[in-house]
Amino acid sequence: AQRVTQPEKLLSVFKGAPVELKCNYSYSGSPELFWYVQYSRQRLQLLLRHISRESIKGFTADLNKGETSFHLKKPFAQEEDSAMYYCAFGGTSYGKLTFGQGTILTVHP
């Protein structure tokens, strides 16, 4: 069965510092991977999807099939980036998402 692991429950950085939120997955096929962000108990918002290779709010994520990872990166963190970040895996025919445990990112001024 597919599994998503976010090893860090909490991550603190200072404003302007680089940030990397780790995500590893286990799946033998071709994964569909996403990053969702949840600001202060609001709705889950799609941040990135690997298939579109886009950059949103300065965040990027590259799928590394060799390392089975999909880490989220931003070169210069901002205070407004403070939120809960979820890595999610989708790949079944009806689109069920499997979420990681989430990482709470705190960006200090």
Partner 1 sequence: EPEVTQTPSHQVTQMGQEVILRCVPISNHLYFYWYRQILGQKVEFLVSFYNNEISEKSEIFDDQFSVERPDGSNFTLKIRSTKLEDSAMYFCASSEAGRGFYGYTFGSGTRLTVV
For position 78 contacting partner 1 by CB under 8 A, the verdict is no
What is the secondary structure of the chain as a DSSP string? --EEE---SEEEEETTS-EEE--EEE-SS--EEEEEEE-TT---EEEEEGGGT--BTTBEE--BTTTTB--EEESS--GGG-EEEEEEEE-STT--EEE---EEEEEE-
Contact 3, 15 (CB under 8 A): no
Quick one: 9 or 109, whose CB is closer to partner 1?
9
Give least dist CB 103 to partner 1, A.
11
72 binds partner 1 (CB under 8 A): no
Q: Determine which residue in the list 51, 57, 64, 78 makes contact with partner 1, applying CB under 8 A.
A: 51
Which is nearer to partner 1, 61 or 88 (by Cβ)? Answer: 88
Minimum Å gap between C-beta 4 and partner 1 is 9
**77 vs 102, which CB is nearer to partner 1?**
102
By rule CB under 8 A, what string of x and - marks binding of each residue 7-46 to partner 1?
-------------------------xxx-x----xxxxxx
Q: Rounded to an integer, what distance in angstroms lies between the CA atom of residue 105 and that of residue 8?
A: 10
